[in-house]
Structure formats: C-alpha cells, structure tokens
Amino acid sequence: MAVHASSVPITVKPIQFGTDGWRGIIAADFTFERVARVAAAVAEVLAEVDTEGRDRKIVVGFDRRFLSESFAKTAAEAVQAQGFDVLLAETYAPTPAFSWAAHHLNALGAIVITASHNPGLYSGLKVKGSFGGSISPQVTQQIEQKLAAGTSPAAAPGQWQTFDPWPGYCEGLRSQVDIAAIQEAIAAGKLTVFADVMHGAAASGLERLLGVPIQELNSNRDPLFEGGAPEPLPRYLSQLFRRIRTQRRQDPDRLIAGLVFDGDSDRIAAVDGDGNFLSSQILIPILMEHLTLRRGYRGELVKTISGSDLFPKVAALYDLPVTETAIGYKYIADRMLEASVLLGGEESGGIGYGHHIPERDALLSALFVLETMVQTGQDLSALYRQLQEKTGFFSAYDRIDLPLASMDVRSRLLSQLQENPPQEIAGQKVVDCLAIDGYKFRLADDRWLLIRFSGTEPVLRLYCEAATPQAVSQTLRWAKDWADSF
C-alpha cells in the first residue's frame, strides 16, 4: 500500500539549545518562523547581559547549507524589528569569522546560521557573545526563558548594513603566524598542503590566508555533503587519503600536510604525510609544545573530559596548569574569560587560543600546524612520537557513536548509569568515576571509558583511551554490548 507523505506523522521538537546552539531538521524543526522567534529573543538577551554599553548591533552570518542565506536574512529582519542594528554577511564564512567580527566591531554578539558537522537535513543557529565566543549556559537559559515569554517588535526598527566577513578575520589570523615562512616552503617545493573543506565554510580560506595556491578538495557547495556529514572523521576522507598517498609516492622526501575542516570551520583534523588520520587528540599536544617552546606563550591548558591523558603530561613538561571541563566549547570559553589560557581543546576537533578570541578556530589551528612543520622540518606523526617519548606515555584512542532505538532506551541506559553503574568493565575493575558530563570510568590498568549522550542527536557516544589499540577495541566492544543489552 502506498504511503502518502501527508499521512506520515512528523514530531516537531521543542526549541532547545544543546552544547553549541539550537539545531533541527530543516522544514520540520528548523523553520523560518522559528528562526525569527529565536533571533528576536537572542537580540534582546544579548542586550540585557551587556554591561559595557556596546553598540546596539548584532552580526548575522551563515554557512553553505541549504537555505542558509535565506535563514540568515530572516534572522536579520527579526533582529532589526526589535530595534537593533544589523550587520548581515554578504557571503558565507567560518563561524569563528563571525565571532571575530562581533568582538572587533563592538557588537552585542553574533547569530550564525549553521549546523556545524550535522548531516545535510539539519540547519542550526549558534549564538556568540560580544567577547567573541560561545555564550554561557546561563545566557542560553535566559534565551530559552525569553522564547517562552515572547517578544514584541520595537517602535522603530534598527539600521541594516551588509559586510564582507573575510578581510578583517584573515588579517587577524595572518598576524599570529609566520606566513612568509609557510609561503616560502610551499613555493620552494618543500611543503605540499592539502585541505579537505568538506563542501563547507572553510572553502577558499587557506588560499585567502596564505596568498598561494594549495590543493583544496570538495570546494563546491553541496548541501547534502555527498550523503554524509561534514565531520572530520576518517570514514569521510578516502579521497584525501588517496591524494596524499599518491603525493608521497611521487615526492618521498617532501613535507605533506593534510588539513580537514568541518562544515562551519571551527573544528579541525589532519592527515600526515603517509596518509594517516590525526585527530585533535594528536594535534593538541603538538600545538601545546609549539606555542610554548617556539612561540613563547604561557598559560593554562583547558581540556574537556574526553581529551587524551597525554595533554596533562605535555602540560607537566612545560609546567602548565590544567583545568578539565564538561564537553562543549562554551565551557572552555567560560574558563578562557576567567584565566590566562594557552590553549583550550576538545577531542572532537575544537581548538582555541587564549591570545586570540575565546573560540575554537580551525583555520588558525591549520596555520599553527603548518608553522610547526615548517619550523621543525618534520612530519606531524614524527612530532607526536617525540612527545610520546618525552612523556613516556603511549596510548591509542577511539570513539564510536551508537544510534539509539528510542528515547525509552535512552532513559533505561541513563537510569542504569545513575543507579547501578558497572563495577567492572572489559575485565578491569572500575577504580574511579567522573560524572561532570556523562560517566567517565577509570579502570585498574589506567585506561578510561566515557559514556555520554549527544547534546544534538539521538546518539550514545562511547570514548576510550588505553595503552593499545586492542585494549581500546575490547573496551568499546564491551560498552556497545552493554548498551545493546537494553
């Protein structure tokens, strides 16, 4: 029997902010009417929390997803109707470019239409504060309260202006690295740079910054992301792996860097010169050492609970304090506003810097990665092995995302973790459990397993670090079997 689309029930989810903004399925949860409501509430709350008398203006930007420009225009119109001036982007740009603009243009904050790394069916709305980073959970709560109470248009609308988000942002990033040295290495044939922009907002970014051609992959706009998601994970990077391995066969002695950017260019991963995937679990220690040893920066390391145990060990090498937070860059941003921070990083690819804005920024991270390679003359994996040897810490890491069959399964899993957490995992005794975000179990042989629910999708996330890949696989298999039993 044929099923007509009109007969299929659609459950519209309430507007709720997750780890970084509000996201939903386009035309079901994420609609023009809802975007207008959220944008109006955001503008009013950003004005209410302003304590420094900034201009009554809001930056509005967007990525390359389906209808992003139109959603951004709707958001801008709603903000203008509330009596605020609007700076609307003329073109797509990375989310950190709009965070940068909010801070440097004395705005109350920024609204960015993006669903980051989610699949193409999704769109979303991120809110950035005047300081140039994600708003705090407290401000998020105020926005949700304002949504519930409703808003009324102002007696007189604000002014409207468009702007190009790229030039000021690029100038700010170039000033922080030795661009000339990177350009020279590329021009001399000593360094080949590949960038997989995953059809997202990083497209053209590195060439704008470097002023020389690089080998950019997936530059075209594809709102469906080839049926996948713009997330810097190995399963989406087969083309990049092939290109780099071919280059290695042709130029065995040349430095080769592969850089990967998510959909709105606030998260990064890399690929070494032999075509091996390098997550931020590997990049963060390399960047910590570079910033400290060669750049002369100091400050605290801020890591989420899913970050590698190598992070604090490298911090100890350079006498850097460490703070651990829940997952979500807004928690790192909060700490960056309170303390002198060298670097704040999360395992999913978000890395930010205390001397920049309190925001993860993949293009700036890419520049630091290239600067590190040029100054050391070494491949990224070689730099990582040296850090392992210096600290005496060798480990493997992996994460799997497990789709949940229903919200009832989610509830039963959560109840089990709260009321009867496991005392033994994969044959190892549980010696500690940290519950600031999900449940992080430390085991007798010092491996750890983190079990937590996604803040944006109906997914259970399982993370593990252990001494060997075999131990990681064994632990994650145990966790998957445990979850499937419900």
Cα 275 from chain centre? 23
Confidence of residue 13 (pLDDT cuts 50, 70, 90): confident
What is the rounded distance in angstroms from the CA atom of residue 288 to the CA atom of residue 458?
Answer: 34
pLDDT at site 278: 97
Cβ-proximal residues to 27 (8 Å cutoff; 6+ apart), any chain? none
With a pLDDT cut of 70, the percent of the chain lying above it is 97
Dihedral sign of CA atoms 403, 431, 468, 485 in order: negative
The Cα–Cα gap between 107 and 100 comes to 10
Any domain includes 3: no
Give the pLDDT score at 10: 59
User: Rounded mean pLDDT of 266-293?
Assistant: 97
| Nearest Cα to Cα of residue 346 among 251, 425, 281, 296 | 281
Whether 445 and 452 have beta carbons less than 8 Å apart is answered as no
Alpha helix positions (H), 50-94: 68-81
CB 265 within 8 A of CB 204: no
pLDDT above 60 for 1: no
Burial category of 107 from C-beta neighbours within 10 Å (exposed 0-12, middle 13-18, buried 19 and up): buried
* Closest alpha carbon to 364 in 199, 164, 175: 175
* The two structure tokens encoding residue 96: 């950190």
Residues 6+ apart with CB under 8 A from 118: 23, 124, 229, 263, 456, 457
- Min mean pLDDT across 52-61, 66-75, 451-460 is at 451-460
Q: How confident is the model at residue 4 (pLDDT cuts 50, 70, 90)?
A: very low
| pLDDT (0 to 100) of residue 405 | 82
The answer to whether residue 2 is domain-embedded is no
What pLDDT was estimated at residue 5? 41
Tell whether the model's pLDDT for residue 371 goes beyond 70: yes
236 versus 13: the higher-pLDDT residue is: 236
A 10 A CB-CB count for 408 gives 10
Residues 46 and 163 occupy one common structural domain: yes
Domain endpoint, select from 341, 370, 391:
391
pLDDT of 124 higher than 80? yes
* 57 occurs within a structural domain: yes
Q: Examine residue 281 and state whether it is found in any structural domain, yes or no.
A: yes
Q: Can you read off the two tokens belonging to residue 72?
A: 């951004």
Summarised one tens digit per residue, pLDDT across range 228-248 is 999 999 999 999 999 999 999
Give the structural domain span for 480. Answer: 396-484
Are residue 38 and residue 79 in the same domain, yes or no? yes
Task: Tell me: do 303 and 180 sit in the same domain.
Answer: yes
Is there a single domain that holds both residue 331 and residue 361? yes
Residue 180 main-chain phi, psi, to 5 deg: -60, -40
The verdict on residue 474 lying in a domain is: yes
**Final residue in a domain of this structure, among 342, 371, 391:** 391
Q: Do 103 and 251 fall within a single domain?
A: no
In one-letter notation, the amino acid at residue 125 is L
Q: In the chain, how many domains are there?
A: 3
Instruction: State the pTM of this model.
Output: 0.94
Same domain, 89 and 195: no
pLDDT at 110: 98
Burial (CB count within 10 angstroms: exposed 0-12, middle 13-18, buried 19+), residue 264: buried
pLDDT exceeds 60 at position 306: yes
Among 367, 329, 335, 343, which Cα is nearest to 172's? 367
Q: Quick one: 110 and 95 in the same domain?
A: yes
Pair 28, 68: CB distance under 8 Å: no
Q: Confidence class of residue 8 from pLDDT cuts 50, 70 and 90?
A: very low
The CATH number for 102's domain is 3.40.120.10
- Looking at every residue in the chain, the average pLDDT score rounds to 94
Q: Which two structure tokens, joined as six digits, stand for 40?
A: 């109006």
462 domain residue, yes or no:
yes
Q: How confident is the model at residue 19 (pLDDT cuts 50, 70, 90)?
A: low
Q: What is the CATH number of the domain that holds 405?
A: 3.30.310.50
**Structure confidence by residue, pLDDT tens digits, 385-439:** 999 999 999 999 999 999 988 778 888 899 999 999 999 999 999 999 999 999 9
130 token code pair: 């005047």
| Same domain (yes/no): 381, 239 | yes
- The answer to whether residues 187 and 254 belong to one domain is yes
Instruction: Evaluate whether residue 4 is within a structural domain.
Output: no
Domain assignment present for residue 53? The answer is yes
Q: Are residues 304 and 445 in the same domain?
A: no
pLDDT at 2 over 50: no
Q: Are residues 417 and 304 in the same domain?
A: no
What average pLDDT score do residues 62-83 get? 98
Lowest average pLDDT, out of 6-15, 376-385, 409-418, goes to 6-15
Q: Which of 112, 139, 170 corresponds to the end of one domain?
A: 170
Write out the two tokens for 163: 């702007």
Q: Where are the alpha helices (DSSP H) in 82-220?
A: 95-104, 137-149, 166-174, 179-187, 205-210
- Looking at the fold, whether 128 and 261 belong to one and the same domain comes out as no
